[in-house]
Structure 1
Amino acid sequence: MSSASSDLNVTPQREREVIHDHWILFLIQGVLLAVLGALAIGAPYLTTVVAVKLAGWFFIFGGIIGLATFFTGREVPGSIWSFLGAALAIAVGVYLLRQPLVGVLSLTLILAAFFFAQGITQILAAFSHRRVLNSWGWMLFSGLVDLILAGIIISGFPLDSAWVLGVLVGVYLLMYGIALIMTALASRDVSPEEVEYRP
């Protein structure tokens, strides 16, 4: 609660100082994401397979951690269910690695939910940056694109799942990268002494 209230009490001048001090990090992240996005759009089928295999590795690592937790805390009530869940996660991960195209449908739906949630948060972040950065419109545009991508996924499901996953991941990365680059360039020019409030 204290951290939330302190975030609300940050002055526009302090926001400008923090944003100006970290503009290079925004720029590096934006360039990397934009390059990855362009590569993903250029090879959508490969990107789809890579996304599914990455999810498979996440399941496997999560399952291994779950098993380690089980063997170090078997006295915990209900730990057998944690063991079964960890074993299932490993099995799902191995299956996705061996049959990556099978997991495309479910991952496509998960991606649609992600784009929707990310779009909402991007739009909210854009309006919170509105009083400090002139580039807030780019972040707003990126959030709107995310919502459009979520709609495209749902409207073309399941027929387009084989390629749409890779293309949309690429578009997301490219747009988010561009938004971060524009934010970085605007942040570089922010003067901490120039306090201009936009209600």
Structure 2
Amino acid sequence: MTDIGRSEAGGRFASSSGPGWGWMIGYGVISIIFGALALIWPFPATLAATLLIGVAFVVSGIVALIAGVRGTGAESRGYTIILGLISIVAGVITVGWPLTGAISLTLVLAAWLLVRGITEIAYAFRMRRRRWMMLLYGVVNILLALMVVATVPLSALTIPGFILGMSFLFGGVVAIMAGVDQKSGTTAFRF
């Protein structure tokens, strides 16, 4: 064995594709499509994300409420019921007043981008190939987070859609490149 995923056969190197490369490339293509759509229509993307999060709050609140009511004897029963009620109220407010929810979503999105960017930079130092892309991706997400915080509340109606579009677009490119590397038998991370 001369390298991971490569073996010498008859004086030539034969590479073996890594598993899952097609899924990575498919994810990348879908991510690029969603990213492009969000960049073209940032306001509908913002409203769609806000409504989706509102529905998720309502559904998780209902599940928590049922779990709390039916979970007799559980120590966290009261907490679960209160959490369920708070989630339902937050979801109803977000769905009923999506423009107000967009401001909250904007702040949550900024926090998500910041944490994601820091994580991507940390993982970039473990990567063997295309480290610069992951570093750039992390820096882009951190800069996007700062841009969001600097523009709230005036641009809360389009910035989340625009930011999501940029993140999905860039993430799609990174996923496709990782899939191409995986197909060639190159491992993405060193351990």
Superposition TM-score, scaled by structure 1 size: 0.81
3-state secondary structure, aligned to 2:18: helix
Q: How does 1:42-81 map to 2 (within 5 A)?
A: 42-81=40-79
| Secondary structure at 2:107 match in 1 | helix
CA distance in 2, matches of 1:19, 1:51: 36
Q: CA deviation at 1:80?
A: 2.6
* Residue correspondence of structure 1 range 182-197 to structure 2 within 5 A: 182-190=177-185
Q: Does 1:13 align with 2:8?
A: no
Written as runs of structure 1 = structure 2, the 5 A alignment for 1:34-183 is 34-130=32-128, 133=129, 135-183=130-178
Structure 1: gaps (5+ residues) = 1-11
Counterpart amino acid of 1:110? V
Counterparts of 1:167 and 1:99, CA distance in 2: 20
What is the Cα deviation at residue 169 of structure 1?
0.7
Bigger proportion of residues as strand: 2
Deviations 1:33-83 (A, max 9, x none): 111000011110001101111111111111111112112213323523321
* Maintained 8 Å contact 1:138/1:182: no
Aligned CA-pair RMSD = 2.3
Q: Which amino acid in 1 is paired with 2:4?
A: Q
User: SS at 1:161's partner residue?
Assistant: coil
Q: Which amino acid aligns with 1:82?
A: T
The 8 Å contact of residues 112 and 149 in structure 1, kept in 2 or not, is answered as yes
Ranges in structure 2 where 5+ consecutive residues have no aligned partner: 6-14
In 2 relative to 1, CA 191–79 (structure 1 residues): closer, same or farther, beyond 3 Å? Answer: closer
- Tell me: CA distance 1:33–1:43, structure 2 relative to 1, closer, same or farther (3 Å): same
Equivalent position of 1:5 in the other structure: none
Number of residue pairs matched? 178
Structure 1 residues 191 and 37: CA distance shift in structure 2, 3 A: closer
8 Å CA contact retained: 1:33, 1:176: yes
Q: 2:157 is paired with a residue of what secondary structure?
A: helix
Cα deviation, residue 18, structure 1 = 10
Cα 1:18–1:114 change in 2 (3 A) is farther
CA distance in 2, matches of 1:87, 1:163: 30
Contact kept in structure 2, 1:136 and 1:183, CA below 8 Å: no
Task: Please identify, of 38-47 and 86-95, the stretch whose mean Cα deviation from structure 2 is larger.
Answer: 86-95
The aligned residue for residue 31 of structure 1 is: 29
Q: Work out the CA distance in 1 between the residues paired with 2:101 and 2:56.
A: 13
Q: Which amino acid aligns with 2:150?
A: S
Structure with higher helix content: 1
Q: 1:154 is aligned with what amino acid?
A: V
Q: Is the 8 A contact 1:62 1:86 kept in 2?
A: yes
Q: 1:183 to 1:83 in 2, by over 3 A?
A: same
The TM-score normalised by the length of structure 2 is 0.84
